[in-house]
Amino acid sequence: MTPSSFALYITSLLWLDLTHAKISYFWHITDLHYDPFHNSQEFHRGCKHNRGSNESPHSHRNGRHRDHTCDSSWPLIQSAAAFMAERHPDTLEFVLWTGDILSSSMEHLSEEIKLEAVRNVTDILSRTFSSQFVFPALGHNDPPPSKKLVDMWSQWLPTEALLSFETGGYYTIEQSHSKLRIVVLNSVLWAGGAAKNDGPHQGRAQWEWLQQILIKARSKKEMVYLVAHAGPGVEERHNAGSSTAAGGGELTPTANARLLHYIRAYSDVIAGQFYGHRHADTFRLVYSEGRPVSWALLAPSLTPRGAGSISNPGLRLYKFESNTGKVLDYTQYYLDVTNTRGDAHWTVEYNLTQYYGLREVSATSLDTLAEKIRNYHDRGLLTKYLTALRVRHTTDVSDCDASCVHVHFCAITRADFHEFRTCVRNPASALASRAPHTSAAILLYAILILISS
């Protein structure tokens, strides 16, 4: 074979490899907060209506499932399922379902009632995704692992996954047709209040299991999706490590730091992280020696009701390269609960790469985006970020001053609780370490916060 023909042969192989890259899709749904008693006089626990003397406690301003003072009604869940069934891509591979299936208003009800509600949601997802696997993760509002849950979800999970799920609520999916491994964690074991249900013992077992899975993935040259209800990092409204933050399903400071250590140590095999819990559309970055090495994308909730905030219901469809797990893009859909003109319809909110002008989905590109979001003088991307954060629920972006912008930046780029507190309390030094040219407004805020402390 001549050198020229050999070069042509190699080029053809590379072309075939590129053209055979399989582009697939998966849905990410989270925080349904299903309230079976949404319209019940007797069990109406979750809704707080501002109503007049002639208004029924269950009259909803915007229709059967468009009240953002309540958790998800059954019609809202049916609406979401019908939309996802309608939007099925031909190459849809699986569904990530990241917990808080049930409304917190059900926490004092019996396990039987809770399991029946989970079964109802499981059934509708099973009918919606009859040809796909659904990979559920447990949230802090959900029943603990049990034989009944195993039986319910055995249609989706292989035997080995069911064994670890029954004992600890976590499992891994090793795919035969690709090098992508899905690792579903039980973040409840690492959250505040995990002492109940033998949390400390199971939490330790999950750490050992996770490390072994990551070692195995590296040795087999696999790429990993980390999936859980709650992931590392801090919400903007919370004081990192506070009892309020940890008690609401957030990771404890110790667990948060340890998970970040694992993510840094195995960033070469972690292709992406997918979480819910915060009822917000945002992202988090993990750094090693000042370099962005991993990203986490947080999907907004289906319920329009949140802790301290409200948003429109959201559903997310990811586009990815199924052989490697590389995320290429996602499309965010939403239902406008504030629309009072006729029936509300699910519609596209935005496409990630187009919306933010990203060339790719990577830790480096999202780090660049974070830097642009915090640019107080150019509020274009900040406005887009804050609009998406609450899924286009009405918000006055002008209310976010320099200090507000800085807190958002710290939340995105400082996943460690201590680093987040330091970033918020010392904005001048935090900003100077990453960008030499800071705005006068942010420097003024730094002086004010130091004086006040």
Dump the DSSP string for 184-199: E--GGGGBTTTTGGGH
Q: List, in sequence order, every beta strand (DSSP E) within 310-442.
A: 314-321, 326-334, 347-351
Average pLDDT, integer, range 192-221: 83
Q: H/E element holding 383? A: helix 380-389
d(CA 315, CA 327): 17
Residue pLDDT, tens place only, 39-67: 654 444 446 543 333 433 433 444 455 56
Q: Which CATH architecture has domain 21-39+63-449?
A: 4-Layer Sandwich (3.60)
| Distance, CA of 32 to CA of 281 (rounded, Å) | 15
Which residue intervals of 414-453 are DSSP H helices? 417-425, 427-432, 440-452
Q: Are 295 and 369 in contact (CB under 8 A)?
A: no
Distance CA 189, CA 182 (A): 19
Q: How far lies 199's CA from each of 18, 194, 195, 232, in Å?
A: 46, 5, 5, 18
CB of 135 within 8 A of CB of 156? yes
Query: Using CA atoms, how far apart are residues 149 and 156, in angstroms rounded to an integer?
Result: 12
CA torsion through residues 290, 210, 281, 309, sign: negative
Model pLDDT, residue 60: 42
Tens-place pLDDT, residues 161-180: 999 999 999 999 998 789 99
The predicted model gives 206-216 an average pLDDT of: 98
What local confidence, expressed as pLDDT, does residue 453 receive? Answer: 42
Non-local (6+) Cβ contacts of 219 within 8 A are none
Q: What is the mean pLDDT of residues 438-451?
A: 42
Domain boundaries of the chain, sorted by first residue = 21-39+63-449
Model confidence, pTM: 0.86
